[in-house]
Amino acid sequence: MDTIVRTATPNDSEFAYCVKRAAFKEYVEKVWGWDEAEQRRLHEQRSRTQEFRVINVGGTDVGIMAVVVAPDCVNVHQLFLLPEHQGKGIGRECMMLIMEEARRLGLPVRLRVLKVNPRAMTFYQRLGFKRTGETDSHDLMEWVSE
């Protein structure tokens, strides 16, 4: 696979939002309902505090990631692929890049998975993530390099 991950620019903001909506709307609807104005507000807020990365395969932008390297861990806030590009190993490849970055830094990787998204839970468990806790809406997960 010819996968490239690059830092998003302000011009990528609308693409990032559209990917999130295409990949994640059904899960948000199940928990809170999808409010377009609120989701856009959250996207704008997060784009100022999280490092967005665009996932490109073979010259086509297919997804986004939002990652924050904190002093105590690498936080994966978002990993979304357009539905037609899911299930092809792209998400796994992206997570392996993040896990390698965390390994070099000597940090664990942490993330949250909506409880209504068992497919994502299975995906992360296959990568070696362990459930470490929960909130009302999310399972908390962590991966630690061995």
Spell out the domain ranges in the chain.
3-143
Percent of residues in the chain assigned helix, strand, coil, to nearest 5:
45, 30, 25
Q: Are the beta carbons of 1 and 93 closer than 8 angstroms?
A: yes
The 10s digit of each residue's pLDDT in 90-107 is 999 999 999 999 999 999
Better-predicted residue by pLDDT, 99 or 1: 99
The 10s digit of each residue's pLDDT in 43-80 is 999 888 888 999 999 999 999 999 999 999 999 999 99
Residue 119 neighbours by CB under 8 Å, 6+ apart: none
* Whether residue 146 has pLDDT greater than 90: no
* Whether residue 1 has pLDDT greater than 70: no
| CATH fold of 3-143 | Aminopeptidase (3.40.630)
From the list 18, 19, 5, 128, the residue with the least C-alpha distance to 82 is 19
| Span 24-31, average pLDDT | 88
| Span 21-41, average pLDDT | 90
Q: Which two tokens stand for residue 28?
A: 């948000």
